[in-house]
């Protein structure tokens, strides 16, 4: 079979990024905005929940937080629907500012949700604030208030900026379009500034793996099952290259670059059930696509073969063997050098060497399955396993892959 993915297999993804400046005209953060293409530098009209979900999935699971934000923080719009979801957010609290949109309804449930987020250490900003008295109860939870200065007169700006500064709230002037507006807000003590006077949003483009509808829905259904076994969740994620890669990227982003991951199950345990619930919901919200079945079928066959052989060899967990087989096709799926992809996933050194150089016990098993795909017989046999036995395990792995519905 061919191991190169066609360009049509990939999904183009876009994120708008507008800088936010401090009083010294230095970038201190970026607002991340939904964009559907590179031509129109404005928000497309889709559901607010879906737009925010797509921004989060694109930045965290595909492009990478560091690549998009560097050392800065990212402001992301949160609709009322997202704020009221009762789960632990999966994103790192030091990197993200939660923007509460101006059209939320102030209810006891919303107040409770904001209180929980605040207690967990998240930074909260009120977006497009025009000093509507109905929203004043939210000021108690705000670290930053973004004032839409074009909608508020100078008298109101003077009055309310003094009041909010006295509460210790940072003020951000948005939609700043002229130097005069900037200097006026600076005199009032505004801390941060955003608008076309400084910079228009820049569109960042990337590509992502196609998603499988059935697998994502299966994950969503199982993650909320009160009797779920974490191994079961690992199995669901592990049979899908796209989900596995996304999860590893998330774990690497949220646990720090020094963390080494030994398997999909290890990543699932590190991520935790509450964050998996949040992540699965966002995946479904952000939209799904079908996937190139032949290539993923090969990845599944390799993964199952490596797992079966690994079960007889020991040395490493069966999950580690499965992970090596699953990711052996990742470069073809992503059309990117494997070494570049693996650097961002924080995998264990033994898995890294097996995938890149086919070294070690894991690498010998991977080399064997690749040779068998090509009908070769002159390859190194894994210790104490005969060629006949390997052929039987390969047939079993192929049958396993055929049972997985790849959409």
In 3D, which of 71, 55, 75, 53 has the Cα closest to residue 63?
A: 55
pLDDT for residue 287: 55
CB 100 within 8 A of CB 117: no
In 3D, which of 150, 128, 126 has the Cα closest to residue 138?
A: 126
Q: With both helix axes pointing from N to C terminus, report the angle between 241-255 and 318-327 in degrees, rounded to the nearest 10.
A: 110
Written as one string, the DSSP assignment of 192-261 is EEESTTT-PPEEEEEEEPPP-HHHHHHHHHHHT-TT--HHHHHHHHHT-HHHHHHHHHHHHHHH-TT--B
Within 10 angstroms of residue 127's Cβ, the number of other Cβ atoms is 22
Please tell me the distance from the alpha carbon of residue 356 to that of residue 403, in angstroms, as a whole number. 29
pLDDT for residue 5: 39
Asked if the domains at 11-206 and 210-407 fall in one CATH topology, the answer is: no
pLDDT for residue 43: 40
pLDDT for residue 8: 40
pTM score > 0.95 for this model? no
Query: Rg (Cα) of the chain, in Å, rounded?
Result: 24
Please tell me the distance from the alpha carbon of residue 63 to that of residue 6, in angstroms, as a whole number. 20
pLDDT for residue 171: 94
Within 10 angstroms of residue 272's Cβ, the number of other Cβ atoms is 13
Delimit the domains of the chain by residue range: 11-206, 210-407
In 3D, which of 280, 312, 304 has the Cα closest to residue 213?
A: 280
Under DSSP, is residue 2 helix (H, G, I), strand (E, B) or coil? coil
pLDDT for residue 3: 36
With a cut of 70, which residues of the chain have pLDDT below it?
1-14, 34-53, 57-58, 60-62, 64, 85-90, 204-214, 217-218, 220-221, 224-226, 254-259, 281-282, 284-293, 296, 333-335, 344-346, 403-407
Provide CB contacts within 8 A for 72, sequence distance 6+.
27, 28, 29, 30
The pairs formed by 28-31 with CB atoms below 8 angstroms and a separation of 24 or more are 28/72, 28/73, 28/192, 29/72, 29/73, 29/74, 29/75, 29/97, 29/192, 30/68, 30/69, 30/72, 30/73, 30/74, 30/75, 31/74, 31/75, 31/76, 31/99, 31/194, 31/201
Task: Check residue 119 and report its DSSP letter.
Answer: H
For the chain, how long is the longest CA-to-CA vector?
85
Query: How far is residue 379 CA from its own chain's centroid?
Result: 39
In sequence order, the β-bridge partners of residue 139 are: none
pLDDT for residue 244: 87
Domain made up of 11-206: CATH architecture: Alpha-Beta Barrel (3.20)
Please tell me the distance from the alpha carbon of residue 155 to that of residue 159, in angstroms, as a whole number. 6
pLDDT for residue 22: 92
Superfamily covering domain 210-407: Hypothetical protein af1432 (1.10.3210.10)
Under DSSP, is residue 96 helix (H, G, I), strand (E, B) or coil? strand
pLDDT for residue 45: 35
CB 396 within 8 A of CB 369: no
Please tell me the distance from the alpha carbon of residue 356 to that of residue 340, in angstroms, as a whole number. 11
pLDDT for residue 345: 64
pLDDT for residue 297: 73
CB 329 within 8 A of CB 298: yes
């Amino acid at each position: 079979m061919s191991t190169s993915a066609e360009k049509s297999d990939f999904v183009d993804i876009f994120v708008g990024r507008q800088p936010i400046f401090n009083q010294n005209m230095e970038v201190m953060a970026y607002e991340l905005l939904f964009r559907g293409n590179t031509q129109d530098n404005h928000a497309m009209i889709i559901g607010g929940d879906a737009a925010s979900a797509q921004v989060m999935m694109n930045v965290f699971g595909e492009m990478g937080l560091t690549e998009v934000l560097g050392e800065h923080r990212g402001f992301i719009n949160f609709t009322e629907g997202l704020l009221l979801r009762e789960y632990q957010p999966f994103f790192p609290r030091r990197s993200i500012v939660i923007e509460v949109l101006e059209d939320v309804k102030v209810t006891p449930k919303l107040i409770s949700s904001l209180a929980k987020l605040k207690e967990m250490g998240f930074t909260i900003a009120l977006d497009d604030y025009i000093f509507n008295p109905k929203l004043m109860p939210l000021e108690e939870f705000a670290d930053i208030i973004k004032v839409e200065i074009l909608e508020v007169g100078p008298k109101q700006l003077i009055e309310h900026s003094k009041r909010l500064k006295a509460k210790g709230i940072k003020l951000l002037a948005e939609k700043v379009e002229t130097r005069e507006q900037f200097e006026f807000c600076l005199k009032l003590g505004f801390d941060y500034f955003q608008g076309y006077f400084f910079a228009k949003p820049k569109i960042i483009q990337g590509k992502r793996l196609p998603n499988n509808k059935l697998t994502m829905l299966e994950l969503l259904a199982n993650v909320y099952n009160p009797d779920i076994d974490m191994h079961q969740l690992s199995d669901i994620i592990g049979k899908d290259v796209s989900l596995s890669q996304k999860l590893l990227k998330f774990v690497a982003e949220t646990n720090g670059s020094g963390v080494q991951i030994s398997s999909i199950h290890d990543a699932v345990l590190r991520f935790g059930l509450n964050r998996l619930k949040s992540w699965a919901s966002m995946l479904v919200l952000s939209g799904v696509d079908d996937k190139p079945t032949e290539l993923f079928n090969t990845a599944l066959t390799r993964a199952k073969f490596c797992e079966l052989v690994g079960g007889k060899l020991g040395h490493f967990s069966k999950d580690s063997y499965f992970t090596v087989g699953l990711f052996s096709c990742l470069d073809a799926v992503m059309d990117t050098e494997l070494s570049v992809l693996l650097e961002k996933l924080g995998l264990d050194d033994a898995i890294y060497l097996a995938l890149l150089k086919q070294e070690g016990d894991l690498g010998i098993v991977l080399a064997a399955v690749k040779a068998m795909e090509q009908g070769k017989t002159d390859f190194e046999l894994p210790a104490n396993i005969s060629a006949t036995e390997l052929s039987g395990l390969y047939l079993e792995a192929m049958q396993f892959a055929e049972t997985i519905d790849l959409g």
